[in-house]
Structures are given as structure tokens and as C-alpha cells.
Amino acid sequence: MPHFGDYQNEIYLDGLRDVLPRLPVDFKLLEQKAQAAMPASVLSYVQGGCGDEFTQRHNAEAFNHWGLIPRMMVDCSTRDLSIELFGLKLPTPIFLSPVGVLGICTSDGHGDLDVAHACSRTRIPMVASTLSNDLLETIAQNLGDTPGFFQLYTPKDKKLAESLVHRAESAGFKGIVVTLDTWLTGWRPRDLNAANFPQLRGHALQNYFTDPYFRALLAKPPEDDLSAAVMQWAQIFGKVLNWTDLPWLRSLTKLPLILKGICHPDDAKRCIDGGVDGIYLSNHGGRQANGGMAAIDMLPAVVEASGRTPVLFDSGVRHGSDIVKALALGARAVGIGRPYVYGLALDGTDGVVHVLRSLLAEADLLMAVDGFPTLATLREAGVIRL
């Protein structure tokens, strides 16, 4: 039976023919290579965080104070990392977190499709952002048989929100992920110092520009007056959501509804009471608010409060060991963000595939060496706060 960890065998055997990996297998070198290759404006938007970026750093560093305790004399020659999520049987416990500038991370402007192709090849789900250069329908088509989810930045206009959700349903997405913490942007010094906001330059807005309801709001179509269309988008972006909006959100779709940005156990309980199907614990990787707790440190309480409702998790995941620790703490699935974006920028679809295979290989080998053949045995053992 093949395992994700077998990727290292491919690399070593290629080395016998003097063939080295096109990209590094570790995050530190991957990031360094991306820093040297990516345009400054794109890099600052992808890499930057909020304020002095303490929360962004803390998200990643906090994994180091959670530790696994290995168990020996366990047969891990066969391992199973598959999960069930919203009725879907998935071969891995990871997914791609939504990133709103994938399109401009490749020279041809179609990074969204490169990521969809990578998901199709790896069978790893993608959460496609509302903010994309390619249409959500085209992204869904390029996912092939791999399930995808649609992430909604809820606009102020409810009819536009309904239009976007119904388009996602028709396109074949398997769930709607509503981001709660981005009704306005946090204080991001890297972007502010460069006066750089890609969407105000017309990037990643194709889902709006092609939407019949949005186009009806314009005096001229975007292809005739881009500036006016962008300003209309800026005025309509970002509805302030509160608990009285939850019944409306729930009514938008019969697909699984997942709320992203939940960090407090009481909020998780209230979501579940309101008919939400999944809790997505995330602090937006430190991009939206500074000075908060690391996301991984908030995971145990949210998992406990959520009961049988699945908890998705992202923020600060850089290594396979991070994935394993989040799973051990009860996350049903773990989202990857910046690492796959760096792979995308460096080598398109192949770069994303390489990053995902590397992360899964590290996670798989760690579970094998530490004596956890299944996710159930891993969760039963748990992790210790160091």
C-alpha cells in the first residue's frame, strides 16, 4: 500500500541520477526562494500581516509548545490518514485555505486555475475565495472530481450575496465557507507603506464583474469603466455580520455552512445552535488582527465546545508536524495557506503539488515513527502542553 511518506523515496532515488527537487521541501528555504522570485507588491500582500505581525509569528511559533509523546512497538507499516467531512470521503486531512490573490501569483494571471489543477492531481480540496482572477465556475470545473468549497466575503447587498452563493451551488461546490473577520481590512503596514491594495487595482474581482446582479448596479460594464466598477465593489464589500444574520446565512443554501473566524468556544456553541454545519477556527493567519492568542492554543476549547460538529483549522501551519499536532488536538481537517502560495509562485501547479506532497510526507512519516497508524490513535494519545 503506498503512503504519503513514500515521496521521500522518490526524491532519494532521483538523487541517484543527480536529479534534485525543483523546490525545497522545507518551509524556511521555500520562503527564501519565494522572497527572491516574487514581485515585491505580491510578496508583501501574501507575506505580510497585521500591525507588527506578532500574531502572525506567534501562530507559527506556538506549535513548538505542544509536544507528541511517541509510542513504540506499534505496527505502523500500514497507515490511514483519510477522513470523512460533510459526507465526503477524503484521502487526506488537509485542505487549501482561501487566498484572495492567487491569480496574480503567476505571470499569466491564472494562479487560481493552477491551484485547482493541483487539487485535482492530489485530491486535496480547495476553498476557493470570492476574490479570484478566474470565475468560480471555471475554478470548479478545473477541480475535476476533487471536491471544492466556496468562501464568501459577504457583501453589504444581500441580493449579491445570494447570487454568489447560488452560483457556487450551481458550479458544484460542496459547501459554503463564510469569512467573518474581514468586513473591513486590518492595519497592514507592509501594504500601507507601499499603498498597495491589489483589488483596488482591479485584481481578483472577476466573480463580481461577471455577476449579473453586480453588473446591474453599474452605469457601464467593467470592461468599459474599470475604475467605476472597482469603486462600486469597494462600496459594497464587507457586510457587518451579527448573530441576527445567522438565520439569513443559513437560509442561503442547503449545502454545508461553515463559519470561518470562530475562536471562542461560546461562539462555536452559538453557531451550532443556529444550524451551522462546521466551525472553522482561524485568525486569518494574523492578517486581520494583531495582539491575539495563537490559533493552535484556542483549538482545544473550541473542539470541546463543538461536540460532534467538525472543526476545521488554519493559521500558522508551516510543517507536517503542525498538521499532526492540530489533528491530535481535535481538528477534523487542517488548512494550508502561505506554503502552497509560495509553491504556486515558484512553479505553478507543480509547485503546489510539491509543497502539498512534502507536507503530507512529513506528517505521514511522523505518525509512522511515533506509533500512530490512524488519526483515531493519534487523537487518543493527544499532545502535551510543554
> Which residues are marked as active site?
284
Q: Which of 119, 120, 102 is nearest to 111 (CA)?
A: 102
Q: Which of 49, 52, 58 is nearest to 297 (CA)?
A: 58
Three cell numbers written together for 14: 532521483
- Maximal CA-CA distance, the chain: 71
Residue 105 half-sphere exposure toward CB, CA atoms < 13 A: 32
Length of the chain: 386
Residue 310 and residue 338: Cα distance in Å, rounded?
Answer: 23
Q: Name every residue whose Cβ is closer than 8 Å to that of residue 109 and which is 6 or more positions away in sequence.
A: 103, 133
Annotated binding residue 338: yes
Q: Residue 214 in contact with residue 153, Cβ under 8 Å?
A: no
Q: Residue 296 in contact with residue 59, Cβ under 8 Å?
A: yes
Annotated binding residue 314: yes
Q: Other C-beta atoms within 10 Å of 339: how many?
A: 22
Annotated binding residue 287: yes
Annotated binding residue 117: no
Annotated binding residue 99: yes
Annotated binding residue 45: yes
Residue 142 and residue 121: Cα distance in Å, rounded?
Answer: 10
Annotated binding residue 317: yes
Residue 346 half-sphere exposure toward CB, CA atoms < 13 A: 24
Q: Other C-beta atoms within 10 Å of 77: how many?
A: 9
Annotated binding residue 67: no
For residues 104-120, b (16+ Cβ closer than 10 Å) or e, as one string? bbbeeebbbbbbbbbbb
DSSP 3-state of 126 = strand
Annotated binding residue 179: yes
Annotated binding residue 188: yes
Residue 118 and residue 163: Cα distance in Å, rounded?
Answer: 28
Annotated binding residue 129: yes
Annotated binding residue 12: no
- Using the Cα atoms of residue 272, residue 275, residue 278 and residue 284 in order, give the sign of their dihedral: negative
Residue 118 and residue 115: Cα distance in Å, rounded?
Answer: 5
CA 42 to chain centre: 18
Q: Which of 114, 131, 137 is nearest to 200 (CA)?
A: 131
Q: Which residues are annotated as a binding site?
A: 45, 98-100, 129, 151, 153, 179, 188, 260, 282, 284, 287, 314-318, 337-338
Q: Which residues are annotated as a binding site for glyoxylate?
A: 45, 153, 188, 260, 284, 287
Q: Which residues are annotated as a binding site for FMN?
A: 98-100, 129, 151, 179, 282, 314-318, 337-338
